[in-house]
């Protein structure tokens, strides 16, 4: 009803949004790491005096309408609406119930047209029409009949539309700022690490990868990336008009990657506890685009190549299992990457005999402070295997068990390797009563042995666990 | 399962559409930024990795879960200042975030556009813009053209406006369609980089990226000698490309060993879909027609099926004929960190939707011995079950092996009067040098096992077991009986010598031809059953 009242405003809004005054429009997009963005849209708007409605059609299709705020001089906000009654042929017919439409019968052989006025009685399952005194089902005989509607009802639109009703004390153009939160925009980091086997050093490049599935393009936007995931209360009532536009939690690494958390501070700009990564130049973020901008390029960082084998419980494996290949390096300023690493995926490459880089696996990392030590598993070692076997399990009392474990390590490679064997799953009061080499107790649940396996050789580790629970 | 393939097929089909204009062309033109298309690749290298979750077995052409590292070298001419460089014809399965571009100075940003040209994308892009509606009389073939505007394509229904009024597309029962004059969308995922050059240069650029829709496995063909004591082992590297893009005259490699992949965030992409011309409720007094699809890519599915079947048949034929074949080239193995890299020596074409086989290895006169085995839990009941037969050997030089054996499938044949007959097919995991090799030959009906609980104590702590193994073979057999006991249980006495293998009690018996072997043992449990604790 108010739509009719403010029909002048509708026309005005349509002009505003379609013309969009690109020269005077300034977009600023701040993207957080957990699929959330803050859009600030500055533009010139033409406003008359008194109450009127302004429509914004080129906002994010997934806008969270409850977060919208419009500020402009000499206007006050009466109400904000987000209309998502969409214009479809079915809606047109539904809204025409009780009203007159024009039907055009087309003779399938000759193409001759016969026009009639009809009143729509019902649209339940099929369209029932009253033509003169007759009642008919539309196209009951399957013959072609065109239906022509005079106009589109005011509140039906092609896309969900944001409208703001304002009260203006004067007429004329003025700058306005529209800001809102939207899901569908996100970013993460992607790293490329080239490991040089000869001198055990890595070159690391970091790229921020931003993705836009919000259903809208942002042209010539000033873009700021925030390495942090602000808490979002509830789901909001955003309109998920785009397929794939689901709110995603930030993925976490499969195994712990941070060996030591860093304590160094860098020179990057911060916002609260979040680090900021501004993109130097204005950029256009098209809908469904993946965009990458470089933020890190470090050469010759010392890295260590090692092996790790993790046994989750005191059990026997059917066959030998490959140890994991682990690369560790520091992010400190003096002997490492010297930067904070935003969460993302690090891909490792190694040169083959021809000198071409080949992919050898990847690992996810969390937001990592500067000065940390990272140990990233890239995959399984083909030639280094461990066979965990329960040699004997004896009951020593009502609640006491003794488990004799043996780990057979084999190395089919022509170089000596050190495998970090981790035995976890030590529930209750567990202790190592005997072992073939000294262990380090990492926690109540886990013990660790660094086991040396000679080139093309074998090694065996035995340990006896006494468990009370 | 077919979903992913469907995607490739759609993309492949879209490629054949007329070349589309750059979607960012207008933007670039406004910024005075020339758009340059990188020349076609002068050198391509494809390294195929197997599906990370598959530890053994052959590949499935219907679901290629592996991936590949594609590196291609192209020559580009860059003008002074900013320009947009486009790489066309990259694999459809490209993971854009993994793209690395070497040899190019001053990269400002890399982009991958995910909005592709499709019937629905055409409509979506035309909303609010003038189009031409064509109505064709089905009888006379006469077409009427009307100028109009698409008002909405919301929820699959299309509403348009002409001078006569507002109508719904394809609601009248007439043959209706739109004519579009231009599109700014491109048919394939296209990678572009924005560069700023200080001076005009000609650069040799290497683009590397990971792409999905590849896989490989080793397919072993073993031929067992008629006396069952020697094995001939040959293998093919079977690699497959499920992408709609081929790589002509490529350097091809495969990598053995499991590499870690993160499930990762999917890159947003809209490969488009058909126009779903939904109308108002169209129930009649006689029937209820289904919604009408104007366009779709589904007919391509049939074509894909053909590909799969042909390839399968071909693979089997190759496998069966393998021992007789003359092999001109074999892959060359080298170390790649903790992985194994196999290089195809000559350049080869990795075509779109193709599976390709290259010889991996051939070894003769591998000494093997057959072992029959059964696992006993103690709850088998009063019935016979067949023993399993395995061929056992060692992966070392003394056994004419001693090379890394990548995972895959093993088909075992045996010779019968000059004709090869299939014995069994099984899967094999990655085997390093010096590991024990076991090739499964399946169940043997001639060796039957029965495990009976003869006596049980009141509290079930002591059970007397008797195992009978009958040998109907014409020769003596090696038999292994492996026990699976409860926690803390142990064998207290047995009438045969017992050993431990992998922490489990094992009895090794030699059973002469036509004999039944009987074995008795007593088990002591750590827990009383239903005893108060």
Banded model confidence at residue A239, pLDDT cuts 50, 70, 90 = very low
Q: Measure in Å the smallest separation between the Cα of B225 and chain A Cα atoms.
A: 28
Last residue of a domain, one of A148, A166, A197: A148
- pLDDT in the model for residue A83: 82
- pLDDT in the model for residue B113: 80
Q: What percent of chain A has pLDDT over 70?
A: 90
Say yes or no for a CB contact (<8 Å) between B255 and A358: yes
- pLDDT in the model for residue B239: 93
- pLDDT in the model for residue A404: 92
B89: left (phi over 0), alpha (psi -120 to 50) or beta: left
Beta-strand pair A417-423/A289-311 = parallel
What is the average pLDDT score of chain B?
81
Is the separation of the CB atoms in B501 and B371 below 8 Å? no
- pLDDT in the model for residue B216: 95
Burial A70-83 (b: 16+ CB within 10 A, else e): bebeebeeeeeebb
* Alpha-carbon span A186 to B329, nearest angstrom: 48
Banded model confidence at residue B504, pLDDT cuts 50, 70, 90 = confident
Mean pLDDT throughout A230-242?
A: 48
Element at A5 (helix H, strand E): helix A2-5
| Domain membership flag for residue A33 | no
Beta-carbon contacts of residue A198 (< 8 Å; ≥ 6 apart): none
Task: State the Cα torsion B55-B61-B65-B67 to the nearest 10°.
Answer: 110
User: What CATH number did the domain enclosing B123 receive?
Assistant: 2.30.30
Banded model confidence at residue A281, pLDDT cuts 50, 70, 90 = confident
> In the Cβ-directed half-sphere of B342, how many Cα atoms lie within 13 Å?
27
Q: Which of B23, B270, B503 sits opposite A391 (nearest CB)?
A: B503
- Are A320 and A336 members of one domain? yes
**Helix, strand, coil share (%) of chain B residues, nearest 5:** 10, 50, 40
- Are B455 and B341 members of one domain? no
Say yes or no for a CB contact (<8 Å) between B284 and A126: yes
Say yes or no for a CB contact (<8 Å) between B434 and A364: no
Q: Give the chain A residue whose CA is nearest to the CA of B405.
A: A382
Backbone angles phi, psi at B107, to 5 degrees: -75, 125
- pLDDT in the model for residue A398: 84
- Are B320 and B439 members of one domain? no
For residue B278, pLDDT over 90 is answered with no
Say yes or no for a CB contact (<8 Å) between A290 and B96: yes
Say yes or no for a CB contact (<8 Å) between A394 and B336: no
Banded model confidence at residue B123, pLDDT cuts 50, 70, 90 = confident
Both tokens of B254, joined, read 């495969």
Please indicate, yes or no, whether the overall pTM of this predicted structure exceeds 0.90.
no
Q: Which residues pair with A179 in a beta bridge?
A: A40, A69
- Are A353 and A220 members of one domain? no
| Domain membership flag for residue B281 | no
For residue B271, pLDDT over 80 is answered with no
Both tokens of B82, joined, read 């900013």
Q: Measure in Å the smallest separation between the Cα of A106 and chain B Cα atoms.
A: 8
Convert the pLDDT of each residue in B38-63 to its tens digit.
Answer: 888 899 999 999 998 888 888 988 88
- Are B322 and B408 members of one domain? no
Say yes or no for a CB contact (<8 Å) between B336 and A385: no
- Are A310 and A217 members of one domain? no
* Alpha-carbon span A175 to A156, nearest angstrom: 29
> In the Cβ-directed half-sphere of A89, how many Cα atoms lie within 13 Å?
25
| Domain membership flag for residue B150 | yes
Is the separation of the CB atoms in A400 and A467 below 8 Å? yes
**Contact list, B267 vs chain A (CB under 8 Å):** 211, 290
Query: Which range is least confidently modeled, A21-35, A95-109, A395-409, B76-90?
Result: A21-35
- Are B426 and B481 members of one domain? yes
Q: How many contiguous H segments (helices) and E segments (strands) does chain B have?
A: 4, 32
Mean pLDDT throughout B201-224?
A: 92
Q: Which residues pair with A26 in a beta bridge?
A: A42
| Domain membership flag for residue B222 | no
**Contact list, A188 vs chain B (CB under 8 Å):** 265
Integer distance in angstroms from the first to the last C-alpha of chain A? Answer: 73
Mean pLDDT throughout A58-71?
A: 88
Is the separation of the CB atoms in B207 and B100 below 8 Å? yes
User: Where do we find the tokens 């419009």?
Assistant: A70
Is the separation of the CB atoms in B209 and B202 below 8 Å? no
- Predicted complex ipTM exceeds 0.85: no
Say yes or no for a CB contact (<8 Å) between B114 and A140: no
- pLDDT in the model for residue B267: 64
Q: Which of B257, B281, B432 sits opposite A90 (nearest CB)?
A: B281
Banded model confidence at residue B268, pLDDT cuts 50, 70, 90 = low
Banded model confidence at residue A223, pLDDT cuts 50, 70, 90 = very high
Q: At what angle do helices B3-15 and B300-321 cross, to 10 degrees?
A: 110
CB atoms within 10 A of CB B205: 20
- Are B36 and B66 members of one domain? yes
More confident residue, B482 or A270: B482
Q: In what order do the strands lie in the sheet with A134-137?
A: A134-137, A128-131, A113-122, A100-106, A145-148
Element at B5 (helix H, strand E): helix B3-15
- Are B189 and B323 members of one domain? yes
Is the separation of the CB atoms in A149 and A96 below 8 Å? yes
CA angle B19, B23, B28 (to 5 degrees): 120
- Are A360 and A222 members of one domain? no
- pLDDT in the model for residue B28: 58
Taking the Cβ of residue A382 and every Cβ of chain B, the question of whether any pair is shorter than 8 Å is answered with yes
* Alpha-carbon span B142 to B136, nearest angstrom: 6
The number of distinct structural domains making up chain B is 3
Q: Which of B109, B171, B432 sits opposite A410 (nearest CB)?
A: B432
User: What CATH number did the domain enclosing B457 receive?
Assistant: 2.60.40.290
Say yes or no for a CB contact (<8 Å) between A288 and B270: yes
- Are A352 and A434 members of one domain? yes
Say yes or no for a CB contact (<8 Å) between B488 and A394: yes
Banded model confidence at residue A364, pLDDT cuts 50, 70, 90 = very high
Is the separation of the CB atoms in A364 and B262 below 8 Å? yes
Last residue of a domain, one of A301, A329, A351: A301
For residue A411, pLDDT over 50 is answered with yes
- pLDDT in the model for residue B422: 92
Say yes or no for a CB contact (<8 Å) between A209 and B152: no
Last residue of a domain, one of A283, A301, A319: A301
* Alpha-carbon span B527 to B344, nearest angstrom: 59
Both tokens of A116, joined, read 């009639």
Mean pLDDT throughout A51-64?
A: 86
Q: Measure in Å the smallest separation between the Cα of A73 and chain B Cα atoms.
A: 32
- pLDDT in the model for residue B142: 82
Q: Which of A209, A353, A387 sits opposite B97 (nearest CB)?
A: A209
- E-strand stretches of B66-139: 66-78, 81-87, 100-102, 107-113, 130-136
| Domain membership flag for residue A32 | no
- Are B129 and B23 members of one domain? no
* Alpha-carbon span B237 to B327, nearest angstrom: 13
Q: Measure in Å the smallest separation between the Cα of A47 and chain B Cα atoms.
A: 24
Taking the Cβ of residue A78 and every Cβ of chain B, the question of whether any pair is shorter than 8 Å is answered with no
Element at B151 (helix H, strand E): strand B143-152
Q: Give the chain B residue whose CA is nearest to the CA of A293.
A: B109
- Are B72 and B197 members of one domain? yes
Taking the Cβ of residue A112 and every Cβ of chain B, the question of whether any pair is shorter than 8 Å is answered with no
The number of distinct structural domains making up chain A is 4
3-state secondary structure of A89: helix
* Alpha-carbon span B94 to A443, nearest angstrom: 43
Q: Measure in Å the smallest separation between the Cα of A75 and chain B Cα atoms.
A: 30
Say yes or no for a CB contact (<8 Å) between B257 and A381: yes
Beta-carbon contacts of residue A12 (< 8 Å; ≥ 6 apart): A46, A48, A52, A54
Q: Which residue of A55, A189, A288 to mutate against B (max B Cβ within 10 Å)?
A: A288
- Are B106 and B141 members of one domain? no
Query: Which range is least confidently modeled, A36-45, A92-101, B274-283, B335-344?
Result: B274-283
For residue B226, pLDDT over 90 is answered with no
Mean pLDDT throughout A15-41?
A: 72
Banded model confidence at residue A266, pLDDT cuts 50, 70, 90 = confident
**Contact list, A15 vs chain B (CB under 8 Å):** none
Q: Which residue of B84, B102, B128, B502 to mutate against A (max A Cβ within 10 Å)?
A: B502
Say yes or no for a CB contact (<8 Å) between B336 and A350: yes
Q: Measure in Å the smallest separation between the Cα of A13 and chain B Cα atoms.
A: 15
- Are A416 and A291 members of one domain? no
Query: Which range is least confidently modeled, B18-22, B195-199, B240-244, B314-318?
Result: B18-22
Is the separation of the CB atoms in B156 and B277 below 8 Å? yes
Query: Can you give the C-alpha Rg of chain B in angstroms?
Result: 33
User: Where do we find the tokens 């153009």?
Assistant: A173
Say yes or no for a CB contact (<8 Å) between B260 and A391: no
Q: How many CB pairs under 8 A join A and B?
A: 315
- Are A314 and A374 members of one domain? yes
Is the separation of the CB atoms in B188 and B14 below 8 Å? yes
Backbone angles phi, psi at B11, to 5 degrees: -65, -40
**Contact list, B339 vs chain A (CB under 8 Å):** 360, 379, 382
Q: Which of B112, B168, B502 sits opposite A92 (nearest CB)?
A: B168
Q: Which residue of B56, B262, B498, B527 to mutate against A (max A Cβ within 10 Å)?
A: B262
* Alpha-carbon span B229 to B400, nearest angstrom: 13
- Are B16 and B93 members of one domain? yes
**Contact list, B108 vs chain A (CB under 8 Å):** 281, 293
Banded model confidence at residue B170, pLDDT cuts 50, 70, 90 = confident
- pLDDT in the model for residue A386: 96
- Are A310 and A458 members of one domain? yes
- Are A207 and A165 members of one domain? no
Is the separation of the CB atoms in B531 and B459 below 8 Å? yes
Mean pLDDT throughout B415-426?
A: 87
Both tokens of A109, joined, read 């052989």
* Alpha-carbon span A84 to A87, nearest angstrom: 9
Q: Measure in Å the smallest separation between the Cα of B341 and chain A Cα atoms.
A: 8
- pLDDT in the model for residue B152: 86
Banded model confidence at residue A233, pLDDT cuts 50, 70, 90 = low
- Are A336 and A282 members of one domain? no
Say yes or no for a CB contact (<8 Å) between A395 and B434: no
| Domain membership flag for residue B46 | yes
- Which domain does B251 fall in, by range? 1-112+185-216+237-266+296-358
For residue B164, pLDDT over 60 is answered with yes
**Contact list, A398 vs chain B (CB under 8 Å):** 533
**Contact list, B429 vs chain A (CB under 8 Å):** 319
- pLDDT in the model for residue A155: 79
CB atoms within 10 A of CB A226: 24
* Alpha-carbon span A275 to A33, nearest angstrom: 11
**Contact list, A211 vs chain B (CB under 8 Å):** 265, 267-268
- Which domain does A6 fall in, by range? 2-27+38-85+156-182
CA angle B203, B204, B210 (to 5 degrees): 125
Query: Which range is least confidently modeled, A274-278, B95-99, B500-504?
Result: B500-504
- pLDDT in the model for residue A308: 95
CB atoms within 10 A of CB B241: 28
**Closest C-alpha to B521, from B485, B489, B496:** B496
Give the DSSP per-residue string, A158-217: SS-EEEEEEEESS-EEEEEEEEEEESSEEEEEEEEEEEETTTTEEEEEEEEEEEE-SSS-
Banded model confidence at residue A250, pLDDT cuts 50, 70, 90 = low
Q: Measure in Å the smallest separation between the Cα of B320 and chain A Cα atoms.
A: 29
For residue B444, pLDDT over 70 is answered with yes
* Alpha-carbon span B442 to B111, nearest angstrom: 53
Mean pLDDT throughout B296-303?
A: 32
Q: Give the chain B residue whose CA is nearest to the CA of A395.
A: B488
Mean pLDDT throughout A315-326?
A: 91
**Closest C-alpha to A282, from B268, B178, B30, B364:** B30
- Are B42 and B161 members of one domain? no
Taking the Cβ of residue A197 and every Cβ of chain B, the question of whether any pair is shorter than 8 Å is answered with yes
- Are B9 and B71 members of one domain? yes
Most confident range, picked from A212-221, B122-131, B276-285: A212-221
For residue B19, pLDDT over 70 is answered with no
CA angle B67, B69, B75 (to 5 degrees): 145
For residue B225, pLDDT over 50 is answered with yes
Q: Give the chain A residue whose CA is nearest to the CA of B333.
A: A353
Query: Which range is least confidently modeled, A191-195, A347-351, A384-388, B226-230?
Result: B226-230
> In the Cβ-directed half-sphere of A100, how many Cα atoms lie within 13 Å?
6
Q: What percent of chain A has pLDDT over 90?
A: 44
- Are A332 and A455 members of one domain? yes
The alpha carbon dihedral of B321, B324, B327, B330 has a sign of positive
Say yes or no for a CB contact (<8 Å) between A148 and B167: yes
Q: Measure in Å the smallest separation between the Cα of B488 and chain A Cα atoms.
A: 5
- Are A262 and A335 members of one domain? no
What is the average pLDDT score of chain A?
85
């Amino acid at each position: 009803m108010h739509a009719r009242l403010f029909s002048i405003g509708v026309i005005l809004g349509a002009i505003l949004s379609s013309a969009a005054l690109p020269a005077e429009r300034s977009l600023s997009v701040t993207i957080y790491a957990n699929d959330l963005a803050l859009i600030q849209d500055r533009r010139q708007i033409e406003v008359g005096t008194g109450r009127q409605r302004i429509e914004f059609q080129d906002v994010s299709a997934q806008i969270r309408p409850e977060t919208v705020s419009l500020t402009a001089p000499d206007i006050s906000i009466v109400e904000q609406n987000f209309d998502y009654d969409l214009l479809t042929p079915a809606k047109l017919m539904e809204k025409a119930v009780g009203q007159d439409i024009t039907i055009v019968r087309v003779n399938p052989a000759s193409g001759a047209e016969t026009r009639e006025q009809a009143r729509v009685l019902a649209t339940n399952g099929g369209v029932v029409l009253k033509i003169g005194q007759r009642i008919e089902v539309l196209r009951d005989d399957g013959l072609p009949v065109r239906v022509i509607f005079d106009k589109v009802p005011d509140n039906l639109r092609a896309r969900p539309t944001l409208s703001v009703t304002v009260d203006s004390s004067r007429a004329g153009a003025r700058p306005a700022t529209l800001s809102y939160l939207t899901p569908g925009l996100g970013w993460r980091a992607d790293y490329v690490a080239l490991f040089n086997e000869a001198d055990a050093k890595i070159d690391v490049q970091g790229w921020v990868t931003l993705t836009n599935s919000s259903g809208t393009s942002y042209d010539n936007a000033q873009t700021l990336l925030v390495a942090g995931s602000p808490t979002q209360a509830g789901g909001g009532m955003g309109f998920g008009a785009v397929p794939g536009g689901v709110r995603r939690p930030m993925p976490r690494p499969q195994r712990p990657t941070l060996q030591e958390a860093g304590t160094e501070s860098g020179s990057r700009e911060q916002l609260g506890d979040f680090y900021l990564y501004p993109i130097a130049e204005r950029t256009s973020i098209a809908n469904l685009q993946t965009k990458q901008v470089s933020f890190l390029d470090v050469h010759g960082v010392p890295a260590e190549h090692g092996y790790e084998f993790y046994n989750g419980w005191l059990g026997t494996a059917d066959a030998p299992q490959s140890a994991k290949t682990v690369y560790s390096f520091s992010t400190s300023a003096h002997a490492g990457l010297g930067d904070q690493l935003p969460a993302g995926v690090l891909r490792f490459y190694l040169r083959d005999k021809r000198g071409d880089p080949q992919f050898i696996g990847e690992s996810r990392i969390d937001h990592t402070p500067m000065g940390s030590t990272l140990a990233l598993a890239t995959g399984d070692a083909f030639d280094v295997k461990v066979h965990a076997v329960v040699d004997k399990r004896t009951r020593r009392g009502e609640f006491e068990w003794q488990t004799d474990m043996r780990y057979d390590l084999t190395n089919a490679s022509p170089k000596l390797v050190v495998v970090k064997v981790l035995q976890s799953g030590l529930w209750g009061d567990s202790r190592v009563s005997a072992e073939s080499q000294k262990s380090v107790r990492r926690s109540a649940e886990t013990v660790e042995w660094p086991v040396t396996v000679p080139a093309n050789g074998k090694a065996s580790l035995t340990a006896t666990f006494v468990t009370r629970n | 399962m077919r979903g992913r393939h469907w995607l490739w097929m759609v993309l492949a089909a879209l490629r054949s559409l007329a070349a589309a204009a750059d979607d960012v062309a207008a933007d670039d033109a406004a910024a005075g930024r020339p758009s340059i298309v990188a020349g076609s690749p002068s050198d391509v290298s494809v390294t195929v990795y197997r599906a990370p979750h598959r530890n053994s077995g052959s590949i499935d052409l219907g679901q290629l879960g592996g991936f590949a590292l594609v590196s291609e070298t192209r020559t580009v001419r860059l003008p002074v200042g900013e320009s947009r460089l486009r790489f066309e014809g990259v694999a459809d399965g490209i993971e854009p975030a993994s793209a690395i571009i070497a040899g190019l100075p001053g990269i400002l940003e890399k982009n991958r556009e995910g909005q592709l040209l499709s019937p629905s994308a055409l409509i979506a892009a035309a909303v609010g813009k003038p189009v031409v509606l064509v109505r064709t009389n089905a009888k006379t073939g006469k077409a009427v053209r009307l100028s109009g505007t698409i008002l909405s394509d919301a929820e699959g229904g299309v509403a348009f406006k002409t001078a006569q009024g507002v109508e719904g597309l394809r609601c009248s029962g007439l043959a209706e369609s739109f004519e579009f004059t231009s599109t700014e969308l491109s048919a394939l995922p296209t990678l572009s980089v924005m560069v700023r050059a200080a001076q005009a240069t000609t650069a040799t650029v290497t683009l590397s990226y990971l792409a999905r829709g590849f896989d490989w496995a080793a397919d072993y063909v073993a031929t067992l000698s008629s006396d069952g004591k020697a094995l001939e082992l040959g293998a093919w590297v079977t690699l497959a490309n499920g992408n709609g893009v081929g790589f002509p005259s490529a350097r091809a490699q495969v990598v053995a060993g499991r590499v870690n992949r993160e499930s990762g965030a999917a890159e947003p992409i809209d490969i488009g879909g058909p126009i779903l011309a939904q109308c108002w409720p169209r129930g009649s007094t006689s029937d209820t027609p289904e919604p009408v699809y104007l366009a779709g890519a589904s007919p391509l599915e049939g074509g894909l099926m053909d590909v799969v079947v042909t390839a399968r048949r071909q693979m089997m034929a190759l496998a069966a004929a393998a021992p007789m074949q003359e092999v001109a080239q074999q892959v060359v193995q080298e170390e790649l960190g903790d992985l194994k890299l196999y290089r195809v020596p000559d350049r080869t074409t990795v075509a779109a939707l193709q599976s390709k086989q290259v010889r991996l290895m051939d070894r003769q006169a591998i000494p093997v011995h057959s072992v029959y085995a059964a696992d006993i839990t103690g709850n088998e009941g009063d019935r016979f079950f067949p023993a399993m037969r395995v061929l056992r050997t060692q992966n070392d030089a003394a056994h004419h092996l001693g090379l890394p054996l990548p995972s895959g499938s093993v088909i075992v044949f045996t010779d019968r009067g000059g004709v090869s007959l299939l014995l069994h097919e099984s899967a094999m995991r990655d085997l390093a040098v010096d590991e024990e090799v076991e090739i499964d030959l399946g169940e043997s009906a001639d060796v039957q096992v029965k495990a009976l609980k003869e006596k049980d104590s009141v509290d079930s702590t002591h059970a007397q077991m008797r195992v009978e193994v009958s040998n109907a073979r014409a020769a003596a057999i090696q038999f292994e009986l492996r026990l699976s006991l409860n926690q803390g249980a142990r064998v207290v006495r047995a009438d045969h010598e017992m050993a431990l293998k992998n922490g489990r009690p094992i009895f090794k018996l030699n059973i002469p031809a036509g004999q039944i072997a009987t074995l008795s043992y007593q088990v002591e449990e750590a827990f009383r059953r239903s005893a108060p604790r």
